[in-house]
Amino acid sequence: MDFMLSGAAACGACLFTNPLEVVKTRMQLQGELKTRGSYQVYYRNVFHAFYTIGKVDGLAGLQKGLAPGLVYQFLMNGVRLGSFAIIESSGHIHTEGRVSAVKTTLAGAVAGVVGAVMGSPVYLVKTHLQSQSTSSIAVGHQHKHQGMIHALAAIYRQHGILGLWRGSSAAIPRVSVGSAAQLSTFSSAKELVLDLQVFPKDSWLVALTAGMISSVVVVVAMTPFDVVSTRLYNQPVDHLGKVRI
């Protein structure tokens, strides 16, 4: 049940955050392997990117990659959060009744690695689909997939089963660092909020506040790995899996 609920909650959040994922992917691919000032800037900032994509690709363009995004969130976060919930409820992250930062970080990293490996193929497809756009605002390599199933089948035909896990070498440190940062700081932040007695012990505001605190830490720790991961997933390769420049 922990796995199912964790996956379902992540999918619900994905419906609202997917447009941000589209914008993030485009901005991370913009200027790839080019020096500053030597390329055209289509997306000046987050708000301009939203406006540009909505204007050129239409509102539907802001939800590109939604299907693989939902599958990825269910697989990765179902395994990651479900595993961590089991570890936490078993008492393995506590020392003398208090949350142990070291144990929580290790548990979060391990849970993140398992989730990242399982979800890597659909994250690969999600990145390809979210980078696709009208030529006038295109950044990064354009893979020309027609949808999630078509993309998975095309990658499998061209590169075999291992081709579906291309880029996972970057996804593992990305998710393990992000997961360790999120889950360790969430538990510690939740404990802090309870100690300060800001909200009633059973209030949903305790989890919300802890989540907001941990999300700031996650963004700072994870973004460099996220940029590398996006570019590795989206780069073109030949039939032997070698990078085409």
Amino acid at 25: T
pLDDT in tens, 50-82: 999 999 999 999 999 999 999 998 888 778 777
* Nearest by Cα to 23 from 1, 54, 69: 54
Q: How far apart are the first and last CA of the chain?
A: 46
CA dihedral 215, 219, 222, 228 (to 10 degrees): 140
Q: Minimal CA–CA distance to 7: which of 81, 111, 58? A: 81
pLDDT class for 172, splitting at 50, 70, 90?
confident
Residue-level pLDDT at 80: 77
Question: What is the band of 169 on the pLDDT scale with cuts at 50, 70, 90?
Answer: confident
Answer for the pair 103, 95: CB distance below 8 angstroms, yes or no.
yes
Residue 229: predicted pLDDT? 94
pLDDT band at 122 (very low <50, low <70, confident <90, very high): very high
pLDDT of residue 11 exceeding 70, the answer is: yes
- The percent of residues above 90 in pLDDT, for the chain, comes to 48
Residue spans per domain, the chain: 1-166
Beta bridge partners of residue 94, listed in sequence order:
99
Fold for the domain defined by 1-166: Mitochondrial carrier fold (1.50.40)
Q: Label residue 146 left, alpha or beta by phi (over 0 means left) and psi (-120 to 50 means alpha).
A: alpha
Please report, rounded to a whole number, the percentage of residues in the chain having pLDDT higher than 70: 96
Confidence label for 131 from pLDDT (cuts 50, 70 and 90): very high
